[in-house]
Structure 1
């Protein structure tokens, strides 16, 4: 029986590349995002090129009830979940200048939606016997940055939630690792003022996941910061 990975934010950027990485290693995929057309295109490419099963869940993760129900329908089809990658997220500039609405949107997408996905996947993760959750946060979740206090707030919350979740789920055979990368060369980094060669690549995120999964069963990495050298 093939292992199964569920990746949110899988229509583009980090999530798309992580989904392909797991498919290249023989995992069946559940790809989740809002863009149904792009998801379908990505899934078909994985089926055709790599011969894996790849299903899609086109849903707004901030519609908590609908998202949880749709995910659980797909999970029941597979009967297990070996890896969950929460990659979906949004970015907004601003600290004292950020609107309450934008701050709420950041917290809803970057924290509450991740929690909801984790809840939806818990039984399937436990059924795998040994499973791993990767929550993709940000370096702003562990360091202060003057211009992005609202975003940093959401990522600090995600780091705290994820590290606590790691301790709760470990007795059930589920490890949780929080990845905190600096600026990654994706659409979300537009406006950062950095050139592509100054940013982390999506391949660096894949390599971080590969490293964590390559460790012995006794090893536990609950937080991994991926910095970048000064410009």
Structure 2
């Protein structure tokens, strides 16, 4: 009779141990409830681009853009590119240019017009003067007289400029001269490779072009015997 309470106590203890062990184990909750309802988010691989949107659950979803149709457009020049439709596909029309504000430069006088920015809009800055190449038959040791645009003319300066001391550089082809006719610390480029020249005798030398190559014209003062045959 004395053993029964012991067995009952052991049974009760065993039940309590099993109960505590069961509480320590993780609960088997369905996986869907432990993850983000939007998981997984699958990216789309689309040849013409991807469009992202929000579905009814508030989750991002992707879809593919429709393909662009092929138009047979005439050859047109569009400075700002081709116009695009609602799907981002190019059409046969030109894209409109930017709306440029009118520059307000009351004190700026530009003989060559106003310069433009990257969008083609005029800005308050003058275009630089592009001087034509001057082929003169004179050698101006003191530089050329410039016109109103700052370009060289075929007239020589009569005044001798006061030139600063020259730096110690070795220039096989001589030094470059500034607008005053003074040599600066910059070497002249190497002699260019010139093409064939007419067989013409010039006692005072040939007229040189803008690249420094002799032409088929003689400097003033010579009697030239011109032969149309070219040196090969």
TM-score by length of 1: 0.15
Normalising by the residue count of structure 2, what TM-score does the alignment of the two structures yield? Answer: 0.15
The structure with the greater share of residues assigned to helix is: 1
Bigger strand fraction: 2
